[in-house]
């Protein structure tokens, strides 16, 4: 789009931190870019960047503006999506940020199901921890976010919340595998591997341990659940994961046992969008499908909390 070019350039400069770098990124000369910015500031009525010896940086007015720009670009996409939809094309693109646990089973199945009905719709999936996912929403980089234990709930529109208990993950034949449900202290008696602090499940574990005399002493801290899955088969270790990220019945090497709620609080899986934003047709429908799918998960594992839209 032509009439938005200047806005895109401004965003590029803001990201690059320097007019010359941004000019290179956008394949134009620095002089042209420089003047476009100056002209824009003239028309806008106020400077957008503060000039530093080492480059430029957005000033407060610019921060306001860049937020507006991102919103407008996303909004234009939405309008085009609506137009495509009413011309019967059912095209579109959905960008979603989600927790790691959704990656192996849930998201692939949902996306495939959606694309079976709407082959013209494409997807971007970004695995993000809970803070990064919210940042993506704010910057209009993702349309939706589906994460455990979001940190700033109030700043977003919540489409659905769902509780999931924390499960212990261990190799078949592990001594703890004999019990139906486990206490956290039993797990901590064995070598355990946990994710880093920015991950939702670690947050819940930290909260739980804070009230115990026993302390957490992980033998490994890894942000990859794949690592954890394989590590617990090496020594008699215990890992942790939400059931939505596990193949509860079908795994022939691992066993999974829920931790009691009085020990470790359940995780809140939350589907969110930018506050007040109207999503594209494709995104809105996919969000509805996600909500329905989460709502129909096997009963004992989940409990529905809130639903809107």
Partner DNA sequence: CTTTGTGCTTCGAAATTTGCAGCACTCATT
Partner DNA sequence: AATGAGTGCTGCAAATTTCGAAGCACAAAG
Interacting residue ranges for DNA, rule: CB under 7 A: 2, 18-21, 28-32, 34-39, 51, 53-56
Q: Which residues pair with 160 in a beta bridge?
A: 271, 307
- Cβ atoms 125, 96 nearer than 8 A: yes
Residue (37 or 147) nearer to DNA, CB: 37
Q: Is 80 one of the binding residues for a copy of itself (CB under 8 A)?
A: yes
- Cβ atoms 242, 269 nearer than 8 A: yes
> Which segments within 28-173 are labelled E, that is strand?
49-52, 55-58, 92-98, 121-127, 144-148, 156-164, 167-171
**46 contact choice in a copy of itself, DNA, none (CB below 5 to 8 Å, kind-dependent):** a copy of itself
Q: Is 3 one of the binding residues for a copy of itself (CB under 8 A)?
A: yes
Quick note: the x/- pattern for a copy of itself over 38-67, rule CB under 8 A, is -xx--xxxx-------------xx--xx--
End-to-end Cα distance, the chain: 32
Residue 180, CB half-sphere, CA atoms under 13 Å: how many? 0
Residue identified by tokens 């803070």 is 131
Binders of a copy of itself among 83-112, rule CB under 8 A?
Answer: 83-84, 86-87
Residue selected from 18, 34, 82, 289 as contacting a copy of itself according to rule CB under 8 A: 82
**20 contact choice in DNA, a copy of itself, none (CB below 5 to 8 Å, kind-dependent):** DNA
Q: Which residues pair with 137 in a beta bridge?
A: none
The span from the CA of 42 to the CA of 63, in Å, is 17
Residue (39 or 124) nearer to DNA, CB: 39
Helix (H) or strand (E) segment spanning residue 295: helix 281-295
Residue (90 or 183) nearer to a copy of itself, CB: 90
Q: Which residues bind a copy of itself (CB under 8 A)?
A: 1-7, 39-40, 43-46, 60-61, 64-65, 68, 71-72, 75-76, 79-80, 82-84, 86-87, 276
């Amino acid at each position: 789009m032509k009439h938005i070019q200047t806005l895109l350039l401004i965003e590029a400069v803001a990201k690059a931190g320097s007019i010359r770098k941004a000019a290179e990124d956008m394949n134009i000369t620095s002089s042209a870019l420089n003047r476009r910015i100056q002209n824009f500031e003239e028309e806008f009525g106020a400077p957008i960047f503060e000039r530093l010896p080492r480059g430029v940086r957005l000033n407060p007015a610019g921060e306001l503006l860049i937020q507006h720009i991102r919103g407008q670009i996303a909004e234009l996409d939405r309008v085009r999506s609506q137009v495509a939809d009413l011309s019967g094309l059912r095209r579109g693109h959905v960008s979603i940020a989600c927790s790691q646990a959704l990656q192996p089973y849930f998201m692939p199945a949902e996306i495939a199901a959606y694309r079976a009905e709407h082959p013209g719709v494409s997807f971007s999936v970004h695995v993000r921890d809970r803070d990064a996912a919210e940042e993506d929403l704010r910057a209009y980089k993702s349309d939706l976010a589906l994460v455990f234990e979001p940190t700033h709930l109030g700043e977003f529109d919540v489409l659905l919340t769902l509780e999931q208990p924390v499960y212990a993950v261990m190799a078949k034949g592990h001594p703890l595998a004999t019990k139906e449900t486990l206490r956290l202290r039993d797990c901590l008696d064995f070598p355990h591997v946990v994710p880093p602090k920015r991950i939702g499940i670690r947050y819940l574990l930290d909260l739980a341990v804070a009230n115990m005399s026993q302390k957490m002493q992980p033998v490994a801290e890894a942000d990859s659940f794949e690592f954890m899955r394989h590590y617990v088969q090496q020594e008699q270790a215990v890992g942790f994961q939400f059931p939505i990220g596990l193949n509860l019945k079908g795994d022939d090497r691992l066993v999974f046992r829920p931790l009691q709620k009085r020990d470790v609080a359940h995780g809140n899986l939350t589907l969110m969008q930018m506050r007040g934003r109207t999503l594209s047709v494709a995104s809105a429908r996919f969000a509805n499908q996600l909500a329905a799918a989460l709502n129909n998960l096997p009963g004992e594992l989940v409990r529905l909390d809130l639903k809107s839209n």
